Each structure stands twice: as C-alpha cells, then as structure tokens.
Amino acid sequence: MEMQKSIAREITYSGVGLHTGNETIINFKPAPPDSGVRFVRIDLEGKPSIQCDIDHVIDVARGTTLGEGEAKVHTVEHVLAAIAGLSIDNLIVEINANEPPVVDGSAMPFIETLSEAGVVTQDKPKSFFEISEPIYLAHDGVMLAVFPHPGFHVSFTLNYDHPALKSQFASFEITEDIFKKEIAQARTFCFLQEVESLQEQGLIKGGSLDNAVVIGDESIPVDTLRYETEFVRHKILDLVGDFYLLGTPIKGHIVAIKSGHALNVQMVRRLKRVMRKTKIAAIHTTHGNVLEEKKEMDIGDIQKILPHRYPFLLVDKIVETDGDKRIVGLKNISLNEPFFEGHFPGRPVMPGVLIVESMAQVAGVLLLSKPENKGKFAYFIGIDGARFRQPIVPGDQLRIEVVVERVKSKTGKVKAKAVVNGKIACEADLMFAFV
C-alpha cells in the first residue's frame, strides 16, 4: 500500500517569473495528510490561498494560471510537475508574487530544492483514480486520450509546421527515477517568430536564453539541447503538471498528439466529472487485501443533503468517508467571507460559533446521508467540551474530522475537530435531533 508524502522541512527558492518578470521568492512547507497542495499569496492582504485543483484554473494562455477571488498564480505547471514527479501529495507553497520563478525553464531546480528538504512518508494511504474505460478529446488535429493502464504512462507526439523542427515522439512510464532522469531537465521553448508577438502581449518579460530554448526560423541550437527530443519531453513535463490538478494521481496511459495546456485542462475537467459522477476518488488495497472506496462530494452533492445555502453553507468539499462512522470535510477560509466585514475587521478572525457550525455541517452530511434520515433535518440540541485552540484567519484551510459516537432513531452524538496545518484549532462533542 503506497502512502502519502510531504516534505520534512521548510525550504526556499527565488528567481524571476517567465511571463511577468517579477522577482519571486517561493517557500515550500510541509502539509498534513489529505490537505493537498495549495499556493499562499503572502504578498496580499490576508494571505489568501488557492487550492491546486482543476476548479481553480482560470487561464491557459501560454501557461496554466490558478486563481480564487483576487489572488492569482501564473505558470504553475513546472512547479506542479516537480511535485508530481516526486509523488508529493501534501504541500504548502508560499509565494510573494503572482508567478513562480522560471529558473532555467525546466522542473529540475524545483526537484532539487524539494529533494534537499527531504520527501517523507505520511501515515495515510495514497489514493489513485484508475481509468476504467478510454476517454478521448480531439479538435483540429489535436488529440488527447486516456486509456486503462496499471501505472502512469505518457506517450506524446509533437508536430509543428516548421522547417527546423521535425516531428518528435516520446513515451515513458512515469516513475520518480524516470521523471528525474528523462523529463525534469527539459526546458520550455518558443519560436523566434513568436517572440515579438509575445512581448507585445506583455508576456515573457523574464524570458532569456538562460531559461528557454529559442527555435530559429531555419535552425535549432542542437548543441545546447539537453535531450535530442527535448521539446516533446518538455510537453510531457507540462502535461504531468497540468494533470496533477486532478487532485488525485491517476493510473492510466495518456496518449497526446500536439496537446497543450488548453486541451490538457479540458481533459482533466472531464476526468474530474467522471470522478464526481461515480463519487470514487480513489481505490487502494488495505492490509487485509480488501478494496476500499473513498467517497468524495463536491458542493453540488453537499447541497443535495444539507438545507444550508450561501452565505451560511460552510462546507466546501467532502474528501473522505468511512461508512457511516467517520467523515472528513474541508472549509477554505477566504478574506471575502461575509462575516469578516464586521468581525474584527482590522484583524480578521473566524467567529468561534461559525467554526462549530462548520463542524456541525460536516457531521450533518454524514448523519443525513443515512437512508433512515432521508428528508429530515439535523438540529443542534447540545454542545459539550468545546475548546478553541488557535485563531482561524484568511488563508487557512479547515480540515474537519467527525467521528460518530452514537446514533439512535431520533438523536445522534459525534466528536468533531477542526484542524489547521496539522494542529487542532477547535474540538467539541455535538448532539443532534433528527426532525
């Protein structure tokens, strides 16, 4: 059984953004199991965070951009490819600008930085999304398909209508060793004829021959290439980074012909819909060699169970359930939350009563999912042992864990805790009446 991974300690890297030209410091921090990867814009008020998933992709022009509210991070694919290449599941990526450093145009500097911090195994099993049937996307000669496969394999054909660049093909089983040796060093590239147009669009402000391969009108700087097929390998690098936004590593064979960020993201959205439709986010083998399903619910699923709506629906996602005994939900805390306008506006802190309410709503999803409670409401009838251990502020992500202690026909009792960055922020025993 493969376990989740993070890094052992905090580590920092700095450089210039490819398109924005901004000086950037990027700080990688360990994160607890099941929290995923998120960027934190520490240069913005409230330090807003953006979860690295397909729902937060807002642009795919010359790179993949994530955003939530006013916070954006451009060109995330090289960082995410490095994280995927090292099989890291949980990480906090603090950044003081709107684009990671381009460094040398590859993922290797991030691989080396994260490896220096030390990749460590965590105490939760890793989840995989297994492709069960072929899925195809095609448009104007560009094609992307995913087929069943026991591992993670990528086959890519690159073909430009350019006199200097012949068709290139590469196919790799993506493992940590193969990614580092065969893919991670491949650099981003562009055509000389594109440079002026990109500059007019306000892009590649940080671009140079030190961080990109420029293909001339009639020739390629062959003597400077790191691989004979460096261009198609960089396309595989980009694809690995984009597919990391699924939020769960896949088991499948990806076949791409001339695909780029737009089609990559379109395919990941398609795969996410398949995951949500089946509500199977992962299948892993337990110690008893029994297959166990982990169920995931998005906001649409939650609204089918809970009566709450904005601004009082305080659960963003259910990431794990264990039958009718345990459930784990997430609540992302944004500065745009309506309660911050009046609750300590100079120093926003989430009201304690709403922390408890968030825990209660996660519990409600579990309790009201039981067939005997269909069509009922779960009302509070008691709160015992409530303790607030630390303040919750914008940029935090609440991981709410609920365990059922007792359920009868008309009442239920649960133990709940809200965790931020691996530390308990709030805990309480909650009692409900089913009406």
Annotated catalytic residue, options 19, 74, 78, 261? 261
Asked if residue 104 lies in contact with residue 112, where contact means CB atoms within 8 angstroms, the answer is no
What is the full DSSP assignment across 324-383?
TTEEEEEEE--TT-GGGGTSSTTS----HHHHHHHHHHHHHHHHHTSGGGTT--EEEEEE
Q: Is 157 left (phi over 0), alpha (psi -120 to 50) or beta?
A: beta
What is the maximum alpha-carbon separation in the chain?
A: 78
Asked if residue 369 lies in contact with residue 22, where contact means CB atoms within 8 angstroms, the answer is no
The two structure tokens encoding residue 55:
């729902």
CA gap 77, 71 in Å, rounded: 17
Scanning 279-331, the segments in alpha helix (DSSP H) are 299-303
Looking up tokens 């909650």 gives 430
Write the CA distances from 16 to 26, 72, 319, integer angstroms. Answer: 11, 16, 35
Q: Is the peptide bond before 30 cis (omega within 30 degrees of 0)?
A: no
308 classed as catalytic: no
Instruction: Return the C-alpha torsion angle 96, 195, 264, 297, nearest 10.
Output: 30
253 classed as catalytic: no
3-state secondary structure of 293: strand
β-partners of residue 67 are 72
* Distance separating the N- and C-terminal Cα atoms of the chain: 42
Cβ burial, residue 162 (10 Å; 0-12/13-18/19+): middle
Residues annotated catalytic, as ranges = 261, 343
